[in-house]
Structure 1
């Protein structure tokens, strides 16, 4: 039986061919960006984009980080990196906290009309961002937080709330109700049970939610461009300014280095936390 399973059947060959094609589809652009970022412009002009660099240079990376023009200023994308960090950290922490709180309340306390509220909240996940953008601009302008750091953080928390609530609600559905009832008998209140019991048990789902929220906020362009203001432009917006700068020679190696630097953090988080992500999904992210 073991030998029969190892035979290269047409189905097995087709699966491997599909997997290799899919891997090449995603990895080939990354390879081109990587090798181009280590080449000089003279070498890039030779036209062989697949060739390895003859003389590796780190100058494009230095320029992308500290001297590339992002409009009027030529200070690289380092400022955008710290802006993205300042936006992503509170947006992730607040979205996870409120999403876990909503999921906990909807699962164990079940207030009147909980299903209707949950349905309304999920409906927000299917409304396009562009539809809600103008009303949000008016609301934030009325609150005097438009083009500010609290404003862009609030927008990301609002848009992350539906999926965060769904993840935690489905995760908490797998926790026995008897555990909650025992905590209630022991005198636990709403927030005490949530902080001391539910949150410590939610580590796999917190990792899943963090990966999804960090990736979504870090890679966002349109919301940061509209709501962050000039002082808090995220890294993606500054990357767009670097690539679309029309003054002087187009520096393809600098553009590629800036692109990789922008994508580096979410890639690192995913590779470091990948096994936790799979555990969290298996523990209940797709239940319910």
Structure 2
């Protein structure tokens, strides 16, 4: 007599065994923290924006959080007249101070990841150490060298300083990014007869768009928001926007125009804010693609 043993049929249950609570205490705590953090950072921005559109009489007589009763763009016009020179100085400083370190960092990272010249690890350690040296420690030696060479207080001087301080971190970013690229891809390019520059220009650079965006965002915001290097090395004729903003806000003559000060501050912060809003998702994608791997 043959008997077939069958497993007892399990009752079909469409609902999961454990259902996550929609509003658990932990989730409520996380949302409360995120809301408080957003409010902490957005409230000053809100005050700056609404104050920049108010007249001085309304600022004196109204609440700091109240919307303007009669909005005016006159403070923005006055602010632009005072900081427009610094704006174009910042553009002239930021563009080469972004392109050159990214290009040098990409070449260094590519060489350290694939070609590995003699002493590559030592060179990488020196560059990495340079990324953590405080800026204040290097100011006096750089001032002395540039004064002796006759370029102190010029546009090439401030660009050179930003290139020097930007190249270590750019090298670190690109080296870690290229370290995640399969070695087989580089070896295949070598078998096909590719040299150093051909592989770099035709293989590596087209693959580097995510990390280039990350590096550009970091370098642009760092150079644009810089104050101390621009104050020391740029000179009076090439003072960036942050230096001129300080001169506008800290003036000691006449009445302090809070609406003009707020408008000038918003104009100074406009470029980094625009970059983050436009390229935010590219920044996250570049970080996920290997910017912090290695």
Which of the five TM-score ranges fits, normalised by the shorter chain?
over 0.9
Q: Which position in structure 1 is the counterpart of 2:65?
A: 50
Which of 14, 17, 20 is the equivalent residue of 2:35? 20
Identify if the C-alpha distance between structure 1 residues 2 and 167 changes in structure 2 by more than 3 Å, giving closer, same or farther: farther
Q: Which protein is bigger by CA-based radius of gyration?
A: 2
> Are 2:209 and 1:194 aligned?
no
- The 4+ residue runs of structure 1 with deviation greater than 3 A are 1-4
After TM superposition, give the deviation of residue 3 of structure 1 in Å: 9.4
Q: Where does structure 2 lack aligned partners over 5 or more consecutive residues?
A: 1-15
Q: Which position in structure 1 is the counterpart of 2:177?
A: 171
For 1:37-92, what per-residue CA distance to the aligned partner results, in whole angstroms no more than 9, with x for missing partners? 000000000251011001100000000001xxxxxxxxx10000000000000000
Which of 92, 95, 103 is the equivalent residue of 1:89? 95
Superposed, 1:270-281 pairs within 5 Å as 270-281=276-287
What TM-score do the two structures reach when normalised by structure 1? 0.95
For 1:152-189, what per-residue CA distance to the aligned partner results, in whole angstroms no more than 9, with x for missing partners? 00100111111101110111011111111111122211
> Are 2:279 and 1:264 aligned?
no
SS in 2 for 1:175: coil
SS in 2 for 1:35: helix
Identify if the C-alpha distance between structure 1 residues 199 and 54 changes in structure 2 by more than 3 Å, giving closer, same or farther: same
After TM superposition, give the deviation of residue 10 of structure 1 in Å: 1.0
Q: Which position in structure 1 is the counterpart of 2:107?
A: 101
Measure the CA separation in 1 of the matches of 2:245 and 2:69. 27
Measure the CA separation in 1 of the matches of 2:50 and 2:148. 48
After TM superposition, give the deviation of residue 143 of structure 1 in Å: 2.2
For 1:187-237, what per-residue CA distance to the aligned partner results, in whole angstroms no more than 9, with x for missing partners? 211112111211111011000000000000000000000000111000000
Superposed, 1:1-288 pairs within 5 Å as 1=16, 4-66=19-81, 76-288=82-294
Measure the CA separation in 2 of the matches of 1:220 and 1:5. 47
Measure the CA separation in 2 of the matches of 1:77 and 1:246. 17
Count residues with an aligned counterpart: 279
What TM-score do the two structures reach when normalised by structure 2? 0.93
Q: Where does structure 1 lack aligned partners over 5 or more consecutive residues?
A: 67-75
Measure the CA separation in 1 of the matches of 2:290 and 2:153. 38
Q: Which position in structure 1 is the counterpart of 2:5?
A: none
Measure the CA separation in 2 of the matches of 1:243 and 1:3. 59
